[in-house]
Chains A and B, each alone.
Chain A
């Protein structure tokens, strides 16, 4: 069973990628002891304006990783966004499994083994890990691990299942909710997606001075834009309207930029295509696109 580890970059410092790479190496080595993971490749796809990694950088990452996992680097020369970048990387390999990681994560040695175990049943298409130190509040079934959607920060998927539903939708540009959308489409196609709480990954998220999760303007903008895309795709004009109204009444400059972008892209048809009968899986009424265990 082969596996490709995919990381989409956007101006990430090499130090961040070193700690990620070290974690990937340890996780793969551990997984190989307990599973049939064979060839593994770590591939960085770069959406930055200029290349983030030099040849020497790639070589140094290969040194961190050792000979067991091959490192490769692709400079896209355009910003494909998170989902688009992942799709491009998936097109360039044919491994059985695809392990998507955010560049600001550090896998634990046990994370891949746990993800593999949770992915084992035939009807499971994708499994996500528990992020620390800020756990994602989305809910999951304590017995089966079934969850409304799987988060793309650390996500192990079966290539065949993902290909069956057409991969990520690159319209969710630049990022956010492409994982929610992919999960819902997989579930519409009859697959299950699971959360593996024993699979732990460090995700470098921090708290601001007010004790709340820090989010940049860019992240706020992407969040609103992606919510509007989801509402559009899953036939919830009321949610789109409520979001627009919320931005209009109390949104920030970043939120207003998102709305402006949405309107332009809606006019241009550059939005996710609406699905015919999405109600059975989509949950746009909750803040986290599904049941939550708690709120931050």
Chain B
């Protein structure tokens, strides 16, 4: 196929030319900067910019028409070549370069078209070593681009006339496989300038639910893909190599084009990470519990983090004193740069176990702790495994010459943690002490999961939420560990101000809120319960509001009644006062009237008396 993609700085061609310019020294005479051999040159897109930079140019292609056109119409030094003819490659290159000084070889969109690119590269490597080891620059499409990954999730693999899935491609590469091919054929990487496209030629159809970043699934998958490596949006790997490596000899058992499936489970089963500052007497108890495990398929990464040489030596002495069958499973890493979290991340890098757990140097585990993790992980590979824990308070007692006595239990066991994992309640923190969780190593490596060293507290909660929100959790349902809480002077070291804790939790919530997240099976019930409770609360709120409104109305009515009553009362008092006054007046008036009446009545009486007296005295009126 003949491709006619023009040159631009912002293209794989441009990136190749930039690498040439940046990494191949100029000489005093610009036009003697050296020869660039452009394998599979097509229409010689980089010829003009290369020449402009002082390189001379020689295009080689397998298509006679193209070569003829370059030579006859554009006057470019171009020749036919068969890159599959490995045996004849060196002679052909010798012939076309004619003793000129070769500065670089380019192979832009070439390797993926070859049936055996490894054989061509080996031949090229041998020739280059004979010709002053010029650099090789390649550009190869990336089938690990997020657009292809998201389409493949739905079963789509859309071969197209050109692009990432060009119909003439015979080989497909991602970052790992292109690196394996190049190093396996003797090419050591010097520089890279990968060409990125947020949306590749495979970004279609526009509304694809797994691909569109506007769809929740698309956004989730894109975020997930981006977290695995930096090549989610790499469209072309544009890299520069020196033929100074040693090619791996070709054999039927070992191919640089394929990897053998690794079906063996990593060994040991578990890496137990324990960080210690060495100043506690508790470590011996923790190690004792580990020495008593029924399943010995584990290693211990003892991260000794102290700047006190006595503390460090006491830990080393203790480890050395164990029987070799146990001691040989302990790897000690000493660091005097005090940091709460960094040693844990270093331990994650060092861990060899299939699963990883962190056990504090003051906690205890039961004898079947590893066995239970192991069984659950075998039954549910890839899931985070969680056992149950009990709490127990401890305090130091007595004290030796250094004043630090053994820490002994001061309480019985309490089981304050949820018996089964629940993602929602884990956002509030404090539901799974570290030793209750064993996480699959593969998940940490695949998604580059580490503890956030910038967090002041709760970095463990954030870490485990991230792992569990991808892997899910299977509960062993058995008690595996004793989480021991200090009640003495060490307690203050563990106490975090509530506002600091809350701030950290809110930060974690904010991070998860930034994108969609995967929820475990059973979440629908949890959501339903939450929604139903919200509904009940809402109904209660509504009822309460109605009642409050009624109370308000009643209060208003009551106020009016009281107001009216007070008015009536005043009126009544006024009326009563009027009545009393009137009654008084009436009484006064009545008395006056009676007096008057009496006075009036007295006149006739007086007359009658006078008349009677006269009759008595005079006999007749």
Which residues of A come within 8 Å of B, CB atoms?
15, 19, 22-23, 25-26, 29-30, 64, 105-106, 108-110, 130, 132-135, 137, 142-143, 145, 197-198, 200-202, 204-209, 211, 293-296
Please tell me if B405 contacts chain A, counting CB pairs below 8 Å.
Answer: yes
**CA of A15 to CA of B325, assembled, Å:** 13
Q: Which 10 A-B pairs have the closest CB atoms?
A: A133-B364, A109-B321, A202-B292, A22-B323, A207-B479, A204-B367, A106-B292, A135-B409, A202-B288, A26-B323
Please tell me if B390 contacts chain A, counting CB pairs below 8 Å.
Answer: yes
Q: Decide: A198 near B287, CB < 8 A? Known: A109-B321, A137-B412.
A: no
For B, the interface residue count at a CB cutoff of 8 angstroms equals 40
B428 proximity list for chain A (CB < 8 A): none
Known: A133-B364, A135-B408, A200-B284. 13 other contacts (CB 8 A): A22-B325, A105-B292, A106-B288, A110-B321, A142-B398, A145-B398, A197-B397, A197-B408, A198-B281, A198-B405, A209-B477, A211-B479, A294-B412
For window 434-449 of B, CB contacts with A under 8 Å fall at none
Please pick, from B321, B323, B365, B415, the residue contacting A133 in the complex, using a CB distance under 8 A: B365
Q: Decide: A206 near B368, CB < 8 A? Known: A15-B294, A211-B390, A294-B412.
A: yes
Structural contact, B368 and A22, CB atoms closer than 8 A: no
Please tell me if B318 contacts chain A, counting CB pairs below 8 Å.
Answer: yes
Please tell me if B413 contacts chain A, counting CB pairs below 8 Å.
Answer: yes
**CA of A19 to CA of B370, assembled, Å:** 15
Structural contact, A294 and B321, CB atoms closer than 8 A: no
**CA of A22 to CA of B296, assembled, Å:** 13
Give, as a whole number of angstroms, the nearest-CB distance from A249 to chain B.
Answer: 25
A106 proximity list for chain B (CB < 8 A): 288, 291-292
A109 proximity list for chain B (CB < 8 A): 284, 318, 321-323
A–B Cβ pairs within 8 angstroms, 11 of them: A23-B323, A26-B321, A108-B285, A110-B318, A130-B406, A133-B364, A206-B366, A207-B390, A207-B479, A211-B479, A293-B408
Which residues of B come within 8 Å of A, CB atoms?
281, 284-285, 287-289, 291-292, 294, 318, 321-323, 325-326, 364-368, 388, 390, 392, 397-398, 400, 405-406, 408-413, 415, 477-479, 481-482
B400 proximity list for chain A (CB < 8 A): 198
Number of A-B contacts (CB under 8 A): 110
Give, as a whole number of angstroms, the nearest-CB distance from B294 to chain A.
Answer: 7
A293 proximity list for chain B (CB < 8 A): 408-410
Structural contact, A200 and B479, CB atoms closer than 8 A: no
Measured CB to CB, the nearest residue on chain A to B290 is A202
Measured CB to CB, the nearest residue on chain A to B368 is A206
Structural contact, B285 and A207, CB atoms closer than 8 A: no
B318 proximity list for chain A (CB < 8 A): 109-110
B285 proximity list for chain A (CB < 8 A): 108, 130, 132-133, 200
Structural contact, A207 and B413, CB atoms closer than 8 A: yes
**Residue of B288, B365, B367 with highest tally of chain A CB at under 10 A:** B288
B368 proximity list for chain A (CB < 8 A): 206
B478 proximity list for chain A (CB < 8 A): 209
**CA of A133 to CA of B292, assembled, Å:** 10
**CA of A79 to CA of B596, assembled, Å:** 136
A296 proximity list for chain B (CB < 8 A): 412-413
Give, as a whole number of angstroms, the nearest-CB distance from A10 to chain B.
Answer: 18
Structural contact, A200 and B366, CB atoms closer than 8 A: no
**CA of A197 to CA of B284, assembled, Å:** 12
B326 proximity list for chain A (CB < 8 A): 22, 26
Structural contact, B406 and A198, CB atoms closer than 8 A: yes
Structural contact, B291 and A19, CB atoms closer than 8 A: yes
B413 proximity list for chain A (CB < 8 A): 207, 211, 296
Q: Decide: A206 near B397, CB < 8 A? Known: A25-B323, A200-B288.
A: no
**CA of A229 to CA of B288, assembled, Å:** 34
Give, as a whole number of angstroms, the nearest-CB distance from A25 to chain B.
Answer: 6
**CA of A256 to CA of B326, assembled, Å:** 44
Structural contact, B284 and A110, CB atoms closer than 8 A: yes
**CA of A207 to CA of B480, assembled, Å:** 8
Structural contact, A133 and B482, CB atoms closer than 8 A: yes
**Residue of A30, A130, A133, A207 with highest tally of chain B CB at under 10 A:** A133
**CA of A19 to CA of B288, assembled, Å:** 11
**CA of A41 to CA of B238, assembled, Å:** 70
Give, as a whole number of angstroms, the nearest-CB distance from A216 to chain B.
Answer: 15
Give, as a whole number of angstroms, the nearest-CB distance from A66 to chain B.
Answer: 9
B397 proximity list for chain A (CB < 8 A): 142, 197
A25 proximity list for chain B (CB < 8 A): 323
Give, as a whole number of angstroms, the nearest-CB distance from A134 to chain B.
Answer: 8
